[in-house]
Amino acid sequence: MFDAISKLWSNHHKRLSEAGTHDAIRLRMHRAFSWMRKAQEFEMPDDADTRFLFSWIALNTLYAKWDSDLTNREPEWKTREAFLKRMVKSDICGRIQEVIFENRKYCDRLLSEEHLINSYWGNPTEEEARKARTKPRKVGKHYHDTEEVINVVIPLFKCMTMLRSQLVHGMSTYGSSANRAVVEAGAKVVFDFTLTVLRVIAEDGLWEDDESWKPVPYPPMEPHFRRDA
């Protein structure tokens, strides 16, 4: 599916580039496809850690915002949740719901993992672990309801955000057997989810609303001064 989506977007990109329009989404999609292209090179399950991180970077480049005014800067989690809600709401064909349901066993694995829930680390007890393991049953009723699928996506990404933080900040060992099932589940879900979001953007014309993709953090800039190597 990656090649088909990439080809579709390439046609859009060429047309928009020739017209000199939609710079923000063209840059975001260019960056996202570059990371997804690399992510798929890492085989599962051996390179699950790497596939997870590269897939997350691809998704991050689609939703990230940046504001130099620290007093008005929105927390990352709010920016991400607003993006996820917009994608689910805009996906009139239900492709996001479909990919979540297809990966239900992996989603349930992530949702039931106490080590991915913040409250557990505040009180890492058997009782808190038991509470965490009831979460999939509560969330599960939303898998089949189109209007409620966001109530699966949001808690799922809260868990995967914790996994991302553990990996990125070195709070986990690369390739560790202790978290293999969780990392493999996360890698499968975030790769498939991000690919589906790219598909929704490309197929449904979400790129047309240029303002919604601005501003792009850290756009390419020519250096003001040339420095000798």
Residue 200 and residue 95 in contact, taking contact as beta carbons nearer than 8 Å:
yes
pLDDT reported for residue 140? 82
**What is d(CA 20, CA 185) in angstroms, rounded to the nearest whole number?**
40
Task: Indicate whether 145 belongs to any domain.
Answer: yes
Q: What is the dihedral of CA 142, 145, 146, 152, to 10 degrees?
A: 10
Task: Indicate whether 30 belongs to any domain.
Answer: yes
Task: Indicate whether 160 belongs to any domain.
Answer: yes
Task: Indicate whether 132 belongs to any domain.
Answer: yes
Element (H, E) at 59: helix 48-63
Task: Indicate whether 199 belongs to any domain.
Answer: yes
* pLDDT tens by residue, 20-30: 899 999 999 99
- Cα–Cα distances in angstroms (integers) from residue 66 to residues 5, 31, 73, 74, 222, in the given order: 27, 16, 7, 8, 19
Residue with tokens 């859009």: 12
Q: Give the long-range contacts of residues 167-171, CB within 8 A, separation 24 or more.
A: 167/49, 167/52, 167/53, 168/53
* pLDDT tens by residue, 195-229: 999 999 999 999 999 999 999 999 988 888 876 66
Residue 44's domain comprises 2-11+22-63+75-213
Task: Indicate whether 159 belongs to any domain.
Answer: yes
pLDDT reported for residue 1? 85
Task: Indicate whether 219 belongs to any domain.
Answer: no
What total of structural domains would you count in the chain?
A: 1
Task: Indicate whether 97 belongs to any domain.
Answer: yes
Residue 23's CB: how many other CB atoms inside 10 A?
A: 15
Residue 190 and residue 28 in contact, taking contact as beta carbons nearer than 8 Å:
no
> How would you write the pLDDT of the chain (229 residues) with one tens digit per residue?
899 999 999 999 999 999 989 999 999 999 999 999 999 999 999 999 999 999 999 999 999 998 777 667 788 999 999 999 999 999 999 999 999 999 999 999 999 999 999 888 988 999 888 887 887 778 888 988 888 999 999 999 999 999 999 999 999 999 999 999 999 999 999 999 999 999 999 999 999 999 999 999 999 888 888 766 6
**What is d(CA 137, CA 111) in angstroms, rounded to the nearest whole number?**
10
- Dig out the tokens for 113 from the structure: 């993992």
- Dig out the tokens for 89 from the structure: 């709401």
